[in-house]
Amino acid sequence: MPQQTGPYHHGDLRAACLRAAHDLLERDGSGSLSLRAVAREAGVSATAPYRHFADRDALLSAVAAQGYRALAAQLAATHPAPRDPDDLAAVAAAYVRFAVDRPALFRVMFAEPCDPADPERAAATAAMWDYVGAIVREVFPGADPDPMATAVWGLVHGLAFLHLDGKLDPTDPAATDTRVRTAVRALLGAGTRPAPARTSTE
In tens, the pLDDT along 164-196 reads 999 999 999 999 999 999 999 998 875 444 445
Q: How far apart are CA 158 and CA 153, in angstroms?
A: 8
| Cβ(55)–Cβ(114) below 8 Å | no
In this prediction, residue 127 carries a pLDDT of 85
Question: 3-state SS of the chain: helix, strand, coil percent to 5?
Answer: 70, 0, 30
In tens, the pLDDT along 60-97 reads 989 999 999 999 999 989 988 888 889 999 999 999 99
In this prediction, residue 67 carries a pLDDT of 93
| Cβ(83)–Cβ(138) below 8 Å | yes
Q: For residue 191, give the amino acid letter.
A: G
| Cβ(85)–Cβ(188) below 8 Å | yes
Q: Is 189 exposed, middle or buried (0-12, 13-18, 19+ CB in 10 A)?
A: exposed
Rounded mean pLDDT of the chain? 85
- DSSP H helices, 49-118, are 56-78, 85-101, 103-110
- Give the domains, in start order, of the chain with CATH numbers: 12-53 (1.10.10.60), 61-191 (1.10.357.10)
Q: Is 141's pLDDT higher than 80? A: yes
In tens, the pLDDT along 24-58 reads 998 988 777 899 999 999 999 999 999 999 899 88
Instruction: Give the number of residues written for the chain.
Output: 202
| Cβ(4)–Cβ(51) below 8 Å | no
| Cβ(40)–Cβ(100) below 8 Å | no
Q: Is 201's pLDDT higher than 60? A: no
In this prediction, residue 120 carries a pLDDT of 84
